[in-house]
Amino acid sequence: MKVVRIDHVYKDYQLGEQKVQALKDITLAFDPGVFLAIAGPSGSGKTTLLNLIGCIDTPSSGKIYINEKDVSGRTPNQLADLRARTIGFIFQTFNLLPVLSAAENVEYPLLHRRDMSVAERRERVAYFLDIVGLAKFASHRPNQLSGGQRQRVAIARALVIKPAIVLADEPTANLDHKTGEEILLLMKRINRKLKTTFIFSTHDRRVIAKADRLVRVEDGEIALLGKRSSGKWSLARHRPTEAVVDEPASALANEEPAVNDDEKQDSAPIEALDSNGENRNADQK
Express each pLDDT in 196-216 by its tens digit.
999 999 988 889 889 999 999
225 with 236: CB under 8 angstroms?
yes
> In terms of residue numbers, what domain contains 185?
4-101+163-237
**Lowest model confidence (mean pLDDT) among 27-31, 128-132, 171-175:** 171-175
Task: Name, in order, each residue with C-beta under 8 angstroms of 90's C-beta and a sequence gap of 6 or more.
Answer: 151, 154, 155, 158, 166, 167, 168, 169, 171
Model confidence at 273, pLDDT cuts 50, 70, 90, reads very low
pLDDT at 239: 54
CA torsion, ordered 269, 272, 274, 280, to nearest 10 deg: -160
> What does the pLDDT average to over 127-132?
96
Can you give the CATH number for the domain in which 37 is found? 3.40.50.300
Residue 143 has a pLDDT of 96
262 domain residue, yes or no: no
What average pLDDT does range 168-194 have in this prediction? 92
Structural domain includes residue 251: no
Is 10 part of a structural domain of the chain?
yes
Its pTM stands at 0.83
State the sign of the Cα–Cα–Cα–Cα dihedral 122, 159, 53, 30: negative
The pLDDT assigned to 24 comes to 95
In a domain, 70, yes or no: yes
Q: Can you give the pLDDT at residue 238?
A: 66
| pLDDT for residue 5 is more than 80 | yes
Report the number of distinct structural domains present in the chain. 1
User: For position 14, what pLDDT does the model report?
Assistant: 87
Per cent of the chain over pLDDT 90 is 65
Give me the pLDDT at residue 269, please: 53
pLDDT of residue 249: 33
30 occurs within a structural domain: yes
Span 53-64, average pLDDT: 94
Mean pLDDT of 54-58: 93
Q: Would residue 264 count as lying in a domain? A: no
Give the pLDDT confidence score for residue 268 in this predicted structure. Answer: 41
Which residue, among 45, 42, 77, 39, has the nearest Cα to 59 in the 3D structure? 45
Say if 17 falls within a structural domain.
yes
pLDDT digits 0-9 by tens, 231-256: 788 887 765 544 444 443 333 323 33
User: What pLDDT does 263 receive?
Assistant: 42
Q: Give domain status of residue 229, yes or no.
A: yes
**106 contacts 125 by C-beta, under 8 angstroms:** yes
